[in-house]
């Protein structure tokens, strides 16, 4: 059995996942199997010839690729937990959760493994918009923490950082308060921390941030390599989130959940005002 299980949730994105799978083929790290949970796509993935081509190529190159299709749409949070539970049946050491519409740079998994080797329990990188020119930020402006959270004494957000949506001038490993997207996770975390059940609707939104908080509440740490890049296709079609946009509802649920768990969270309370003004000027607040 391979060392790592790559976990992919997909819905109505056959082209996008084929591009993702091709980027897995060319990784410098190859010790992985792939688990694909098709969240009730209108057309099953295996009906697409080009998908079957890349699937067969991965199998010929000694990767097991497992595919299931749900009978009804689970929604993002539940579907992510279902694929985790499925892959946990195997004896994998690590689980790499990747979105269905990203393309990984060839050293992406290797860089995340280096983050874990530094003592972190969850490793992530940066998710860069693929179709726009790269704006590279200097790492010094992060001031030692990426995706920084600052709460007031009652658990209200003063600052909710989102620094992992752009490229950086250097490859530096930094502690993070939450991971944004694709992440390599130690097995023991999934044994203790779940995506589901959740206070969010099936549409999801902030489910990764809540998962990040739960992991830290259980004593685990998150690290990000600013040089580990995956490109976000930002496709307008498909996706495992239902078409009904419940973002506003889920944001309210997320804020409520944070307040309810404020005493268990170890983020800065209030914070340094000068530092906060500097971060605000970077225009990287998550709304």
* Mean pLDDT, residues 200-210: 92
For the domain that residue 233 is a member of, what is the CATH number? Answer: 3.90.550.10
Residue 273 belongs to a domain = yes
Position 94 in a domain: yes
pLDDT in tens, 159-179: 999 999 999 999 999 999 999
Quote the domain boundaries for residue 65: 4-281
Question: Above 90 in pLDDT, residue 236?
Answer: no
Residue 117 lies in a domain: yes
Would residue 286 count as lying in a domain? Answer: no
- Percentage of the chain lying above the pLDDT 90 cut: 82
Residue 175 lies in a domain: yes
Work out how many domains the chain is built from and give that number: 1
Is residue 118 within 8 Å of residue 171, measured between CB atoms? no
- Report the pLDDT averaged over residues 133-148: 93
Residue 48's Cβ-side half-sphere holds a number of Cα atoms within 13 Å equal to 16
Q: What is the DSSP track for 158-195?
A: EEEB--TTSEESS--EEEBSS--S-EEEEHHHHHH--S
Q: Residues 70-75: what's their mean pLDDT?
A: 91
Q: Is the pLDDT of residue 253 over 50?
A: yes
Alpha-carbon distance of 68 to 115, in angstroms, equals 31
Among 11-15, 259-263, 265-269, the least confident range: 265-269
Q: With a cut of 70, say whether residue 278 has pLDDT above it.
A: no
Query: Tens digit of pLDDT for each residue in 94-122?
Result: 999 999 999 999 999 999 999 999 999 99
Chain mean pLDDT for the chain: 92
Indicate whether 287 belongs to any domain.
no
- What would the mean pLDDT of 117-138 be, rounded to a whole number? 94
Question: Is residue 121 in some structural domain?
Answer: yes
> What pLDDT score does 275 carry?
57
Residue 93, exposed/middle/buried by CB under 10 A (0-12, 13-18, 19+)? middle
Residue 234 lies in a domain: yes
Q: What is the pLDDT of residue 269?
A: 65
Is the distance from CB of 138 to CB of 171 less than 8 angstroms? no
């Amino acid at each position: 059995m391979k060392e790592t299980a790559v976990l992919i949730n997909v819905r109505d994105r056959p082209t996008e996942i084929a591009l993702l799978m091709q980027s897995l083929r060319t990784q410098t790290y190859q010790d992985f199997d792939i688990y694909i949970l098709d969240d009730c796509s209108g057309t099953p993935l295996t009906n697409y010839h080009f998908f079957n081509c890349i699937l067969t190529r991965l199998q010929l190159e000694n990767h097991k690729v497992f595919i299931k299709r749900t009978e009804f749409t689970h929604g993002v949070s539940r579907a992510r937990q279902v694929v985790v539970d499925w892959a946990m049946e195997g004896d994998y050491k690590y689980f790499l959760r990747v979105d269905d519409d990203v393309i990984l740079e060839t050293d992406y998994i290797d860089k995340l493994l280096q983050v874990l080797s530094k003592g972190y329990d969850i490793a992530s990188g940066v998710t860069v918009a693929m179709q726009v020119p790269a704006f590279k930020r200097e790492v010094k402006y992060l001031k030692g923490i990426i995706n920084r959270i600052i709460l007031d004494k009652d658990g209200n957000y003063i600052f909710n950082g989102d620094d992992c949506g752009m490229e950086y001038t250097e490859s530096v490993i930094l502690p993070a308060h939450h991971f944004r997207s694709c992440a390599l996770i130690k097995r023991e975390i999934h044994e203790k921390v779940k995506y589901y059940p959740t206070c969010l609707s099936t549409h999801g939104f902030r489910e990764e941030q809540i998962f990040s908080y739960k992991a830290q509440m259980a004593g685990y740490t998150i690290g990000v390599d600013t040089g580990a890049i995956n490109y976000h296709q930002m496709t307008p079609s498909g996706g495992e989130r239902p078409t009904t946009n419940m973002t506003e509802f889920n944001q309210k649920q997320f804020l409520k959940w944070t307040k309810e768990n404020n005493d268990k969270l170890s983020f800065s309370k209030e914070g340094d005002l000068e530092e906060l003004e500097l971060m605000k000027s970077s225009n990287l607040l998550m709304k």
